[in-house]
Structure 1
Amino acid sequence: DFYIRGISRLGIPEIRMSDGPVGVHLSEPTVALPASIALAASFNTNLANKYGAAIGSEARSNNIHIMLGPGMNIHRALFCGRNFEYLGEDPYLAGKLASSYIFGMQNEGVMATAKHYAVNFQEYERHQVSSNLDERTLHEIYLPAFKRCVEEGKVAAVMTSYNLINGVHASQNDYLNNKVLKGEWGFNGFIMSDWASTYDGLACAKGGLDLEMPSAKLMNSTTLLPFIKNGTLDIKVIDDKIRRILTEYVRFGLLKNANIAKEYTFDKEKSRLVAINTAREGIVLLKNDNRFLPIDVKKIKTIAVIGPNGDPAITGGGGSSYVKSLHPISAFEAVKGEVGDNVKVTYAKGVSTGDKVPENFFDSFDFYTKDKNGNKTKGVYAEFYDNINLEGDIVAKITYDKLNITKNELGVKNISDENCSVRFTCYFSPKESAEYWVATAGDDGYRLFVDGQKKLESWKRQGEVVTKYHAYFEKGKEYKFVVEYFQSGGGAAIRLAAQKRVDKDEDRESLMSSAIENAKNADLVILSVGFNVDTEAEGLDRTFDLPFNQNELIKNIAAVNKNTVVVLNSGGNINMNGWIDNVKGLLQAWYPGQEGNKAVSEIIFGKTNPSGKLPVSFEYKPEDNPTFKSYWTKGKDLHVEFTEGIFMGYRFYDKSDVKPRFPFGFGLSYTTFVYGNMKTPVTTIKAGEKIKFSIDISNIGKMDGAEAVQVYVSDLKSSLPRPVKELKAFDKVFLTKGETKTLEFELDKDAFSFYDPEKHGWIIEPGDFKVSIGSSSVDIRHEFNIFIK
């Protein structure tokens, strides 16, 4: 699936790919960097360059020529299951970090892929949903990061998204691909589809797609040659696609030498340091009551690490981005390592996560089939259809030993693994009366019926997704199971299993009471909570509430121990309403990579000063988010209207009476920074000219630290409604205690312009503008006005 075929007679080598964007996704362990959202929280372009280089270096050492990253979709809504793969809500921040990432990766001789182009904001029904938005919103919010990656990052490839944009699939969107990307921006690389995200071969060919992945299912000679012969498709269009792909091969030297791993040494230790440094800079301190943190280890004797994410290590979210960690360190291990042998450290899970399906769950299969005479045989009976809708005649019948089919193992002659549907039938008669977990997994869609009642459903094009439920089954009673399944491109997989439930209610009570006892007897509680690879992942959208009754856990622990610090693993905001006022500290750790928990411990105990800033606004409740009413479409038309327009994230909160719990750009430090001595040489410029200014940042506290300085621009009077302010520059400065440094900034025409839908382009209107310099979007330290004539 992850390669482009070579043509030996023409001297064109096979080109290998790997999933990204947080490491090299291989079967064996590799360096697992923190999630991209943690990189965004660093506000550090130099770090982003090293981050991209670390991935590129390991890719090259494995002879990987193309990495599928970075991801840079804008956080429109908080539920998106892949938000952790992206770079926040602001297009300027996302674009600057992504282009630095790309530059670092491509300097290692590995092509980067900017994804997912474009306006991909939810996983729910991602193949069918249409993002409907106006021209201005598209160009001001959702395209600038990609534009910057083309113009500044010189990215080699762009991957289209699964969704439709204004009713047209991204992979065949002539406006986005031909007119904007290749035309207006002058993109010289190639456009590839996301896996199995093509729907019409001719439309894709004419709509700008250059490479269909993972195979030429629709853009092939059988489909396209007749159109070329009858003049519907110009052969020059095909020539351009080939030219674009080969141009990048030449640019990266692959026609001369595709064995890029030869005589190349991967510096594993260097990449490991990039991973932990990203965690150190990306973790955000959101709450620190009365300077409770950092903790003096000499003053405590007992620490209770509590929570389902405390052990084993949670390094990343789920889906194609997940990397098997080379050196994972759990929160429990990290705390023990940080405090030494003189402090007792205990661990309690606190809640049951028993509804997580273990890797070996589908290995057992206690189902059987029956013939006309009622004779039973272990296995499952399958009826195949040559379409994805279970329609028409049955074209094949087969019995499998068990329903645990992966890696395109359907194995039926004359049936395409990329376009078929199957109805599986089997029976289950438990050996004892008990509660059972029943789970189904599928790539693509599936439905499970038990005795005619629908129990599970994930009927959509998707990577492998697991769903499960539990129910009571009686000993000796026969239950009929029917699984309906369709496959439409990519890797076929469908699985079913049932196992006796072991996490009974009394076990859940025991886990909670054990955690509470640990908390009562501790001088400090570190609550490690959040989502994991199953609950925040590609292919599904997540909840606002923490799963597995973790909100109740936090409330119970905080009630018995006032010295509680919460460490949160998530790709964005969660429901804090029931406990935030009752804990001493809160660290947003995102998914911190293989050694990120070490960075968390360093911050808690003062070895590292937190410097992360929120790259996304944290609302009090989902209803506060301007996209809430238009996040999911009503009915089944799957057209989502972007009713908020350009006013999303902090652009909305700035103009609204609704305010976020934690604003964009916010993050606490253990030291104090003072802004001063701002110098602005000019106060009037011509439209299109650049303006330079400087400001001194001083660390007047008692600890070394780093500050992410943010520059916002406001248009004080405009013909169209504009945000109160927009991020247009930032820099991160490291200061020892007592040190002062001067930061210099430059604002170009892009900082003052907006997109005019009537002129179909960017314009600058003469008048007064305000430049604001601050520590967050609401903590502005200095301002000055500039007049553009």
Structure 2
Amino acid sequence: MTRPRRTLLTSRLTPRLISGLASLLGLLGAALTALPPLAPAGAVADGPCAAWMDRSKSPSARADALVRAMDLDQKLHMVTFGNPPWVTYYGTAGHVTAIPELCVPDLVLSDAGSGVAGLQIATTVFPSGVAQASTWDPALQRRLGRAIGAEAHRKGINVMLAPGMNIARTPVLGRNFEYFGEDPYLASRTAVSVINGIQDNPVLADAKHYAVNNQETDRMTVDARVDERTMRDIYLPAFEASVKEANVGSVMCAYNRVNGPYACENRPLLTKILRRDWGFDGFVVSDWGAVHSTVPSVKAGLDLEMNVFDFPAQLTPIFGAGSRYYGADSLKAALRDGKIKPSHINGMVRNIVRPMFEHGLFEDPVKPGLDPYLRDATTPEHLAVARDVAAEGTVMLKNRRDLLPIDETETGTTGAAGGAGGRTIAVIGWAANPIGAANATSGGGSSHGSGLPPRVVSPLEGIQRQARAHGDRVIYVEGSSGLDARLAASVADVVVVVATDGSTEGADRPDLGLRPSVCVAVFCSAIPIEQEAMIEAAVEANPRTVVVLDVGGPVRMPWLDKAGAVLVPWYGGLEHGNALASVLYGEREPGGRLPQTFPRSEGQVPFTQQQYPGRDGKAVYSEGLLVGYRWYDAKRERPLFPFGFGLGYTTFRYSDLSVRRAGKGASVSFRVRNTGDRVGSDVPQVYVAAPRRAGEPPRQLKGFEKVELQPGESTRVRITLDRRAFAQWDPRRDRWKVTPGRHGIAVGPHSRDLRLRGAVRPRG
């Protein structure tokens, strides 16, 4: 695997420089937040706004009425960044200022997928996107989205720049932790659930980064070259589902180029596919600094420009003037020269205000200001959601001789019996202590959540609380010397060693190693702590060692054979320590399943330089449909851990498969029984194998359902597969088609354990 170049975001920012930048931004924010807040629009039933404030009218009719009432300056005001600028407007990512005379409320945008992040304070940091996907639980994911939306509105924010749903094409993608894994079906189900939850509030969600945005190396310029079938089958389904099923209010166009044009001036993406094919009726917002033109972007379908650097004139000597392709002067010049039409501007504004009407932003306007910025948005209910997602998203990869849960195992050193207490538990690792955990519970960049004031529950704190309740004793060492890790492990009954990586926006990982980092606001810098030697020392000293990996994606595990158990909680958010301890002690089970394959080594998936990170500015997706487990299956490669894998504290048996044609799809049913002695959950997965002439991968996930069963209990699981589950994109006919013939159906707990098999011949 080619080692990607590190970017300025992480490689050139020393801790001192990071601290200075954060302090400067904080001073700017404090100065600007001291200004009186802008008056929000009100929801009036009569007066000059009556024509579009009538809720009995459709959102489209209301949007048309408002656009007709606007003059040109008011329209242009709606399509570009407002001042004060990025991050200094009450810690948000950007905004469009209210137009009080037209009852138009502020449009305030914030990062992102792990909660209300960026420079926000006093919010709940939820588990990251990959952990959310690992729950395989749409109902829980909707609860999480609903909590994020509620906190956003309480903080004076009505557009959440989430969820991210790009596909994990490579295991080293720096933003894999934000996304929902390698499979388009799982990513689609997760995205729809989170968006529905966010938009249960008067808050818009944002589907990002559209599209084919699968690397941070050269992310501003790389041209992703991908054929249309691959794009439609692998990289676009989550965006399509977000539009068609979740009615997402906005879509963010990405930095990169796609088959030539930049994503934000890419007419095939923004107009042909997004609006004409899918019927999107919200607005397209640019990623920050992703706009490179005025006229081409307008004609392609970009509605709202956001920019990283758009500071007032007095600050330009420090930050630069930036660019504003959608500024009033640029757009007026394009209108004057006949390069764009008034109808273009009208359409852009209509696209922005229509979802604002539909989702209640006019009726329940936010009031940005110092008071909501300082307000604590966290609630006990939201913390409970964070714990639930953290536990349900934790994937157990190994549990030798039922080492876990702790309270049901025999101890090896003190001789205390299971459940009787008296154990000595060694907790090892920088990531386990409060300082380390604050940097290991969310990834770096725009989605990094500080949760300030500091209140992350570290693994050490969570384990100490559980240990006290069970009569156990905890010792802690930082472990980076290796010697202290070995000594602590050798005197303990059970060892919990916690390690982390430093996944971040702005840089891909150089390999699958464990490199921790420290993040201040959106800036991160790697720190020199040797964690692999720490793990090796612990597992050699004590086979009863649980390795906990607070990571953003797959990592290598040269110590795997010696470890007693392995847990992957990903980036677990504020309640990570409590959730982890409850899993370790068996109050909760590790409910997660892998949304991404773990390779055996960096070189197992042999990308050429042309494929990744690219050559001559182009990254060629020549692997086509063979992404993630599809590649492993097609090449008959055995991964370290397969897609969909995850252990629990009980066992399940599958039986009695029935597959029958239903409409243009199929109905699949089977029985699942809990054969263990503990209550537990399972995630039966349904895979479809198309006829060979279809040119598809060997099998693809097309259905799943999470079930919880008591010991000995069984249930019949019924999963409906629609026509799309059997279809492939036909670029020549510009539509989805079903290849006639026998389609295999396989059911099991993960992609490499498919215990039941059947077949169906769906209608075309």
The question of whether the paired residues in 2 share the 8 Å contact of 1:34 and 1:316 is answered with: yes
Match of 1:611 in 2: 591
Describe the SS at the equivalent of 1:309.
helix
1:784 pairs with 2:758: yes
1:294 pairs with 2:405: yes
Query: Which residue type is aligned with residue 767 of structure 1?
Result: G
In the TM superposition, what is the alpha-carbon distance from 1:229 to its structure 2 partner? 2.5
Match of 2:489 in 1: 519
Alignment of 1:568-717 (within 5 A): 568-577=549-558, 579-625=559-605, 627=607, 629-633=609-613, 637-680=616-659, 682-683=660-661, 689-717=664-692
Alignment of 1:224-623 (within 5 A): 224-259=331-366, 268-296=379-407, 297-298=419-420, 301-312=423-434, 313=437, 314-325=440-451, 327-340=455-468, 342-351=471-480, 511-531=481-501, 535-542=502-509, 543-547=511-515, 548-577=529-558, 579-623=559-603
| Cα distance between partner residues in 2 of 1:347 and 1:315 | 19
Match of 2:45 in 1: none
Higher alpha-carbon deviation: 91-100 or 23-32: 23-32
Q: Judging changes above 3 Å, is the alpha-carbon distance between structure 1 residues 227 and 266 closer, same or farther for their aligned structure 2 residues?
A: closer
Describe the SS at the equivalent of 2:406.
coil
Q: 2:324 aligns with which of 213, 217, 220?
A: 217
The question of whether the paired residues in 2 share the 8 Å contact of 1:118 and 1:170 is answered with: yes
In the TM superposition, what is the alpha-carbon distance from 1:780 to its structure 2 partner? 0.8
Describe the SS at the equivalent of 2:332.
helix
Query: Which residue type is aligned with residue 305 of structure 1?
Result: V
Higher alpha-carbon deviation: 77-86 or 692-701: 692-701
Higher alpha-carbon deviation: 123-132 or 319-328: 319-328
Q: CA RMSD in A?
A: 2.0
Match of 2:17 in 1: none
Describe the SS at the equivalent of 2:281.
coil
1:7 pairs with 2:136: no
| Cα distance between partner residues in 1 of 2:393 and 2:479 | 27
| Cα distance between partner residues in 2 of 1:39 and 1:14 | 30
The question of whether the paired residues in 2 share the 8 Å contact of 1:626 and 1:652 is answered with: no
Match of 1:398 in 2: none
1:199 pairs with 2:292: yes
Q: TM-score of the superposition, structure 1-length normalised?
A: 0.76
In the TM superposition, what is the alpha-carbon distance from 1:522 to its structure 2 partner? 1.2
Query: Which residue type is aligned with residue 105 of structure 1?
Result: I
1:78 pairs with 2:171: yes
Query: Which residue type is aligned with residue 546 of structure 1?
Result: L
Describe the SS at the equivalent of 2:217.
coil
Q: Deviations over 1:654-686 (max 9, x none)?
A: 111322110000001110111223334x35x6x
Describe the SS at the equivalent of 2:668.
strand
Query: Which residue type is aligned with residue 96 of structure 1?
Result: R
Q: Deviations over 1:205-263 (max 9, x none)?
A: 11110000136711123223233223221221111101111112211233344147999
| Cα distance between partner residues in 2 of 1:211 and 1:201 | 11
Describe the SS at the equivalent of 1:770.
strand
Q: Deviations over 1:518-551 (max 9, x none)?
A: 12211111110011xxx21111112311123211
Q: 2:251 aligns with which of 128, 133, 158?
A: 158
Match of 2:741 in 1: 767
Q: Judging changes above 3 Å, is the alpha-carbon distance between structure 1 residues 765 and 739 closer, same or farther for their aligned structure 2 residues?
A: same
| Cα distance between partner residues in 1 of 2:441 and 2:649 | 25
The question of whether the paired residues in 2 share the 8 Å contact of 1:131 and 1:163 is answered with: yes
Alignment of 1:715-754 (within 5 A): 715-718=690-693, 720-754=694-728
The question of whether the paired residues in 2 share the 8 Å contact of 1:77 and 1:631 is answered with: no
Gaps of 5+ in 1: 352-510
Alignment of 1:10-25 (within 5 A): 10-25=102-117
Query: Which residue type is aligned with residue 311 of structure 1?
Result: N
In the TM superposition, what is the alpha-carbon distance from 1:516 to its structure 2 partner? 2.0
Q: Judging changes above 3 Å, is the alpha-carbon distance between structure 1 residues 120 and 619 closer, same or farther for their aligned structure 2 residues?
A: same
The question of whether the paired residues in 2 share the 8 Å contact of 1:117 and 1:159 is answered with: yes
| Cα distance between partner residues in 2 of 1:339 and 1:22 | 29
| Cα distance between partner residues in 2 of 1:762 and 1:752 | 9
| Cα distance between partner residues in 2 of 1:633 and 1:254 | 41
| Cα distance between partner residues in 1 of 2:589 and 2:99 | 54
| Cα distance between partner residues in 2 of 1:544 and 1:631 | 18
The question of whether the paired residues in 2 share the 8 Å contact of 1:202 and 1:223 is answered with: no
Describe the SS at the equivalent of 2:593.
coil
The question of whether the paired residues in 2 share the 8 Å contact of 1:610 and 1:705 is answered with: no
Query: Which residue type is aligned with residue 233 of structure 1?
Result: I
Q: Deviations over 1:283-321 (max 9, x none)?
A: 000011122222235365211111121112232111111
Query: Which residue type is aligned with residue 306 of structure 2?
Result: M
Query: Which residue type is aligned with residue 770 of structure 1?
Result: G
| Cα distance between partner residues in 1 of 2:760 and 2:266 | 40
Structure number having the greater strand percentage: 1
The question of whether the paired residues in 2 share the 8 Å contact of 1:627 and 1:642 is answered with: no
Query: Which residue type is aligned with residue 157 of structure 1?
Result: S
Describe the SS at the equivalent of 1:115.
strand
In the TM superposition, what is the alpha-carbon distance from 1:343 to its structure 2 partner? 2.0
Query: Which residue type is aligned with residue 505 of structure 2?
Result: E
The question of whether the paired residues in 2 share the 8 Å contact of 1:75 and 1:616 is answered with: yes
In the TM superposition, what is the alpha-carbon distance from 1:129 to its structure 2 partner? 1.2
In the TM superposition, what is the alpha-carbon distance from 1:270 to its structure 2 partner? 1.3
The question of whether the paired residues in 2 share the 8 Å contact of 1:566 and 1:586 is answered with: yes
Describe the SS at the equivalent of 1:744.
strand
Structure number having the greater helix percentage: 2
| Cα distance between partner residues in 2 of 1:538 and 1:739 | 45
| Cα distance between partner residues in 1 of 2:608 and 2:760 | 36
Describe the SS at the equivalent of 1:258.
coil
In the TM superposition, what is the alpha-carbon distance from 1:17 to its structure 2 partner? 1.6
Identity of aligned residues (%): 36
| Cα distance between partner residues in 1 of 2:482 and 2:401 | 29
Q: Deviations over 1:395-422 (max 9, x none)?
A: xxxxxxxxxxxxxxxxxxxxxxxxxxxx
Describe the SS at the equivalent of 1:655.
helix
Higher alpha-carbon deviation: 313-322 or 221-230: 221-230
| Cα distance between partner residues in 1 of 2:251 and 2:607 | 27
The question of whether the paired residues in 1 share the 8 Å contact of 2:654 and 2:670 is answered with: yes
| Cα distance between partner residues in 1 of 2:366 and 2:572 | 32
| Cα distance between partner residues in 2 of 1:788 and 1:321 | 42
| Cα distance between partner residues in 2 of 1:292 and 1:254 | 51
Higher alpha-carbon deviation: 214-223 or 733-742: 214-223
Q: Deviations over 1:464-497 (max 9, x none)?
A: xxxxxxxxxxxxxxxxxxxxxxxxxxxxxxxxxx
Q: Judging changes above 3 Å, is the alpha-carbon distance between structure 1 residues 513 and 265 closer, same or farther for their aligned structure 2 residues?
A: closer
Describe the SS at the equivalent of 2:221.
coil
| Cα distance between partner residues in 2 of 1:647 and 1:723 | 7
Query: Which residue type is aligned with residue 749 of structure 1?
Result: R
The question of whether the paired residues in 2 share the 8 Å contact of 1:694 and 1:744 is answered with: yes
Q: TM-score of the superposition, structure 2-length normalised?
A: 0.78
Describe the SS at the equivalent of 2:743.
strand
| Cα distance between partner residues in 1 of 2:602 and 2:182 | 16
